[in-house]
Amino acid sequence: MSDEEVLAYASGVVASGTGKPSVETATPKLSELATLADESAAAFTAETMAADALEAKITARVNKVLELRTAIGAFAQSMDAIYNADEAKLQALGLEIRGTKQPVGPLAAPGNVRSESGPMEQTVTVRWNAVRGRYLYEVECATAPAGPWTRFYQSAGLQATCEGLTSATEYWFRVRAVGKAGDSPWSDITRRRAA
């Protein structure tokens, strides 16, 4: 049984055994089982909250670094204009001098997009290959190949887990890269039935 099934099973045993004199001499006591079930449920809740908090912190970090990248780029351009591209003065500010940078061009759609059963029931994990020039990725989920689509991930990692799905229901997933050159096309669609 999965951890979730063990918790549901124990809760059922506690509910069924409550008030029955025949279980009063059992070891461990029914009250001990009830306490362990409550503590297990609290641990599940704490894990979910920690995962949500971590995802929020990752997104906040990605967004702040994106702001920093934009700001440092604007600062460098401003100084380049003020110093009329004087390399010595720009280097004295700690700015790197690079050759003419070629634009990345339009971003490619993420490739090798695949889905698999997630780490827990009612989850699916989506993975993809990196795209050059991207800042982050967006991943969407739908219950039909034509949508409607719902975004559930926006960050820099190369995988995302969609949670809260309905067991035995098929889901479709797609990914796109987001960067200075704009958004890439959506990837090929992958599908997976939630366990």
- The model's confidence at residue 99, banded by pLDDT at 50, 70 and 90, is low
Question: What backbone phi and psi angles, to 5 degrees, belong to 32?
Answer: -70, -40
pLDDT greater than 60 at residue 173: yes
SS (H, E, C) the chain: CCHHHHHHHHHHHHHHHCCCHHHCCCCCCHHHHHHHHHHHHHHHHHHHHHHHHHHHHHHHHHHHHHHHHHHHHHHHHHHHHHCCCCHHHHHHCCCCCCCCCCCCCCCCCCCCCEEEECCCCCCEEEECCCCCCEEEEEEEEECCCCCCCEEEEEECCCEEEECCCCCCCEEEEEEEEEECCEECCCCCCEEEECC
**What structural domains and CATH numbers belong to the chain?**
1-101 (no CATH), 114-193 (2.60.40.10)
pLDDT (0 to 100) of residue 66: 83
The mean pLDDT value for 158-171 works out to 93
Distance CA 153, CA 137 (A): 8
pLDDT (0 to 100) of residue 184: 94
Average of per-residue pLDDT values in the chain = 87
Threshold 0.85, pTM exceeds: no
Which tens digits make up the pLDDT trace of 79-97?
777 777 788 888 887 877 7
Contact indicator for 125, 171 with CB cutoff of 8 Å = no
Contact indicator for 124, 161 with CB cutoff of 8 Å = yes
The mean pLDDT value for 177-189 works out to 90
% of the chain beyond a pLDDT of 70 = 96
Tell me how long the chain is: 195
Which tens digits make up the pLDDT trace of 24-64?
788 888 888 889 989 988 998 998 888 888 888 888 888 88
The mean pLDDT value for 9-14 works out to 88
Which tens digits make up the pLDDT trace of 122-155?
999 999 999 988 889 999 999 999 989 999 999 8
